[in-house]
Chains A and B, each alone.
Chain A
Amino acid sequence: MEGEYFNETSYRGTKKFSQQDVKTADATGFGAAADDYMERGIDLNEQLIRNKPATFFMRVRGDAMTGAGIFDGDTIIVDRSLKADSGKVVVATLNGEMLIRRLEKTFNKVRLLSETPKHATIEVDASCDSLGIWGVVTYSIHPV
């Protein structure tokens, strides 16, 4: 149940597209031929949010993940419904603190890796219950 179950999700935001949204629909003269080819336009939510009720936004502080292209001030998108596989960037809770790190699981250890030489790797036993996975980071929005 834990694994594939959570992968079935798809974007569930609004997909409303009524005739009023067709920009040339109120043309009274000849030839709104383009009407027939009118599309809804690109909606970032479709691309970035797969499961709306399980998706949260957070702000990154610090440089723990710069090696992964996630910088101070970036907005990250966190999906709680995804399985936290080894190798994913996650928001983890450890001893009451929330951290953004790359998750690495071995048969008896769980590691939280930062992607900057400044921070040490955190290693705990797989059975450790002070570690929790809050959600899986799916995108980082970075101003250019």
Chain B
Amino acid sequence: MKAIVDCNSFYCSCERLFRPDLQHKPVVVLSNNDGCIVSRSDEAKAAGIGMAVPYFETKPLIQKHNISAFSSNYNLYGDMSWRVMETLRMLLGDASKVEVYSVDEAFIDLGNIPAEDLYNTAMNIRTTVEQWTGISVSIGVAPTKTLAKLANYLAKKDKAATKCVKVLATRGEQVTAMKQTRVGNVWGVGWAYAQKLIDQGITSAWELSTMPEEWAYSHLGGVTGARLIRELNALPSRQMEKPLVNKKMIATTRMFGQPVTDLNDIKEAIATYTSRAAEKLRRQHSAAKVISVFIVPREQNYEVSFRRGATVSSHITLPAATSSTPELIKPAVQLVESLYEQGKVYKKAGVMLAGLEPDESIQGNLFAAGPQKYHRLLMDMMDNINFSMRDDVLKFATSGLARNWKMRQELRSKRYTTRWEELYEVS
């Protein structure tokens, strides 16, 4: 049996852990640069706050209902996410039985627990995670990942009745659950496919599950679609995946706090993002051979451009893979110079590092060419200092001295779990 453990309104739950006064009050968390709503407590949902709605649009509603709004506190959320996942690993007794799916979701492998014990096991996991970390979770249990997701969807939909745990062990339970679930809410069925299916008269997950695999193969994206049908029919087709130790691509992208027009400002931003990406690169002991840069201009006409921004991007292949920040900043800045157009207003930029390979110069290779070796030593020292002092005390001048290209986080709570000077004060 497989299960998905999904944190309830994860970012809001993290904020509430250190704000017991907000326990049953509406809470929302905003995205990077306080742009959109990315997490809502049940009370905020009930007050009519939509998901991914721009903050400024929903401000009147937030004020009217006295909703607490927070900027994203990724230091806190990252640490709390680790705590939830670590608790699961300890409860399962085997790290390979936990597949971290996203910051607030994990698939777990429950093995061959007898059907009659599944509910209690899942409930035990739920209460232990909540007791240890303070984060409440919902759990869906079923023979396949897709059905587990569906069970979880139903558990969340009616928390009072399910107590956040739903088990679909028998075929009867699975069929009933699928009949209650609209096809668009099936894991893996995107918005466009859902429309297509509804047009053909397939409205529930149950109806979808009765379609032949061959049909799914030709109408639902090939092998993925065929697998989806099998999974709905309780035939496991998506296995537990091994954790991805090293990423194959590293990206740092951000919306600008304010729109930017000046080339120098954009260069500073790109240099800052490159530094951040290079740091991530070194942390996984990789070096990059390809660097690509993109910038997104603001559209004149919002309605027309809603779906797709006119991103401009360009990439360059380096003569040799490198993990050195200055060696990456240089081509990145050259790329953005070639992309930039005078007079345009830019709202977003990003840097991507690809063609990753193991960093050969890590162990201070005695035979490596001189500058390479010293670059690596320099980078190690810089990373150590920045890591121990936390706030980038050392940075490259290209990243700008006056201006701070970090996120706008006006409403951020304290980093209670990662900074000594920001610990919760109790009296």
Contact residues, A91-135 vs B (CB, 8 A): 91, 93, 96-100, 132, 134
Q: Are B83 and A64 in contact (CB under 8 A)?
A: no
CB nearest to B124 among chain A residues: A1
Known: A59-B426, A97-B21. 4 other contacts (CB 8 A): A58-B425, A60-B425, A60-B427, A61-B426
User: Does B133 count as interface, using CB distance less than 8 angstroms?
Assistant: yes
Q: Are B423 and A75 in contact (CB under 8 A)?
A: yes
Give the docked Cα–Cα distance between A97 and B18 (Å): 10
Residues of A within 8 A of B (CB): 1, 5-6, 9, 12, 51-54, 56-62, 64, 75-76, 80-81, 91, 93, 96-100, 132, 134
Give the docked Cα–Cα distance between A91 and B20 (Å): 12
CB nearest to A80 among chain B residues: B132
Provide the residues of chain B in CB contact with A1, threshold 8 Å.
124, 127
Give the docked Cα–Cα distance between A59 and B414 (Å): 13
Q: Are B21 and A96 in contact (CB under 8 A)?
A: yes
Provide the residues of chain B in CB contact with A75, threshold 8 Å.
423
Give the docked Cα–Cα distance between A60 and B423 (Å): 10
Contacts A53-B133, A54-B132, A97-B20 given; indicate if A12 touches B86 (C-beta within 8 A). Answer: yes
Q: Given B20, B86, B128, B132, which contacts A98 in the complex, CB threshold below 8 Å?
A: B20
The smallest beta-carbon distance between B342 and chain A, in angstroms, is 52
Residues of B within 8 A of A (CB): 20-23, 82-84, 86-87, 90, 124, 127-128, 131-134, 416-417, 420, 423-427
CB nearest to A8 among chain B residues: B90
CB nearest to A62 among chain B residues: B427
Provide the residues of chain A in CB contact with B427, threshold 8 Å.
60-62, 64, 99-100
Q: Are B87 and A98 in contact (CB under 8 A)?
A: no
Provide the residues of chain B in CB contact with A134, threshold 8 Å.
20, 134
Provide the residues of chain B in CB contact with A5, threshold 8 Å.
128
Provide the residues of chain A in CB contact with B21, threshold 8 Å.
96-97
The smallest beta-carbon distance between B205 and chain A, in angstroms, is 34
Can you name 13 A-B residue pairings with CB atoms under 8 Å?
A1-B127, A53-B132, A53-B133, A57-B420, A57-B423, A58-B426, A59-B425, A61-B427, A75-B423, A76-B426, A96-B21, A98-B424, A100-B426
Q: Are A54 and B83 in contact (CB under 8 A)?
A: yes
Q: Are A12 and B90 in contact (CB under 8 A)?
A: yes
Provide the residues of chain A in CB contact with B417, threshold 8 Å.
56-57
Provide the residues of chain B in CB contact with A91, threshold 8 Å.
426
Q: Are A53 and B424 in contact (CB under 8 A)?
A: no
Q: Max chain A CB contacts within 10 Å: which of B84, B87, B127, B131?
A: B131
Contacts A53-B87, A56-B417 given; indicate if A98 touches B133 (C-beta within 8 A). Answer: no
Give the docked Cα–Cα distance between A97 and B90 (Å): 31
The smallest beta-carbon distance between B416 and chain A, in angstroms, is 8
- Nearest 7 A-B pairs (CB), nearest first? A96-B21, A54-B132, A62-B427, A93-B20, A53-B83, A53-B86, A61-B427
CB nearest to B19 among chain A residues: A96
Contacts A6-B131, A53-B132 given; indicate if A60 touches B426 (C-beta within 8 A). Answer: yes
Provide the residues of chain A in CB contact with B134, threshold 8 Å.
80, 134
Give the docked Cα–Cα distance between A33 and B209 (Å): 68
Q: Are A52 and B423 in contact (CB under 8 A)?
A: no
Give the docked Cα–Cα distance between A44 and B84 (Å): 23
Q: Given B20, B86, B420, which contacts A52 in the complex, CB threshold below 8 Å?
A: B86
